[in-house]
Amino acid sequence: MHTHGEEPTKIDRIINPQRLWSTDYVDQMRALLGESVCRQLAIYELPAEFRLTVIVPVFNESGTVSGTVLRLRETGMPMQIILIDDGSDDGTSEAVDEFLGEKDIVVVHHEKNRGKGAAIRTGIESAEGDVIVIQDADREYEPTDFRYLLQPILAGEADIAYGTRYGHCDRQLSPWWHQAVNNLITTLASLAVGIRLSDVETCYKMAPREHFDAIKADLRESRFGIEIELTARWARRGLRFTERPIRYHHRWYDEGKKIGWRDGVRALWCIAKYGFFRR
């Protein structure tokens, strides 16, 4: 690898992920592939001084949290990573504390487990980036898909970008009941909030920080009901939604999956409360 002040070597130009966001790389790709192809491949430069805030709720993910941080950094995007240890009791707290003092990472601890929604609310309070996205601390989602979610936001074509796990071919198949329940919840949520979504329960919800800030004082859900509440409150503001296909690797309960049938029942209540009744 080259040192500071030296010209980058051929290897640096190939493997340095930050270069994929540079103007010179994008100009080369546009000259080689054309504007239309670059748009389809989501090849574009980032605005000057841009930074993405990634909120990472963490509960009993001692074996995956370090790998999640590595995968986030491998995107090459300038980012602020906020790790919220939500009262873990399996060594996650120690794993998270290994990142204390690193300039791109904020570490926060909840003394007791309060839920994903509570962790997201905590993360919003510490966010400094231009755009915020939510990332689970497991291996189900691919951070390199941020490129596709961010594209319509930076282009001014959407205010909110959701990553959809369904309706495209590049994905691992989930158990039939998992997709059936998700489809039911998503259909009811779509009817309640007035926009046609294909995956309301997706983790990947991305929006400019101003849209998170505008609703943070109103957020009430502490567990997975936050997925419905965020959607309803943004839809009520008349914001423009878009969906982009993302990769998804389903994991099982013996691998650490947290959401259960009670959360499905709560999602139905949240649809009624924040959607139909507009609370």
pLDDT computed for residue 139 by the predictor: 84
Mean pLDDT of 179-190: 91
pLDDT computed for residue 66 by the predictor: 96
How sure is the predictor about 4, in pLDDT bands with cuts at 50, 70 and 90?
very low
- Read off the pLDDT of residues 212-236 as tens digits, 9 standing for 90 and up: 999 999 999 999 999 999 999 999 9
pLDDT computed for residue 256 by the predictor: 54
Q: Name which of 179, 160, 186, 150 is nearest 248 in CA terms.
A: 179
Q: CA-CA distances (angstroms) from residue 200 to 65, 100, 145? A: 24, 33, 17
How sure is the predictor about 252, in pLDDT bands with cuts at 50, 70 and 90?
low
pLDDT score of 211 more than 90:
yes
Mean pLDDT of 194-216: 97
**Domain residue ranges in the chain:** 17-46, 50-276
The fraction of the chain above a pLDDT of 90, given in percent, is: 78
- Read off the pLDDT of residues 90-122 as tens digits, 9 standing for 90 and up: 999 999 999 999 999 999 999 999 999 999 999
Q: Name which of 43, 109, 34, 98 is nearest 76 in CA terms.
A: 43
Q: What DSSP designation does 248 have?
A: B
Mean pLDDT of 123-135: 98
CATH, domain range 50-276: 3.90.550.10
Q: How far apart are the first and last CA of the chain?
A: 55
Mean pLDDT of 21-48: 96
Answer for the pair 52, 82: CB distance below 8 angstroms, yes or no.
Answer: no
pLDDT computed for residue 251 by the predictor: 59
Q: Name which of 112, 65, 68 is nearest 91 in CA terms.
A: 65
Answer for the pair 124, 96: CB distance below 8 angstroms, yes or no.
Answer: no
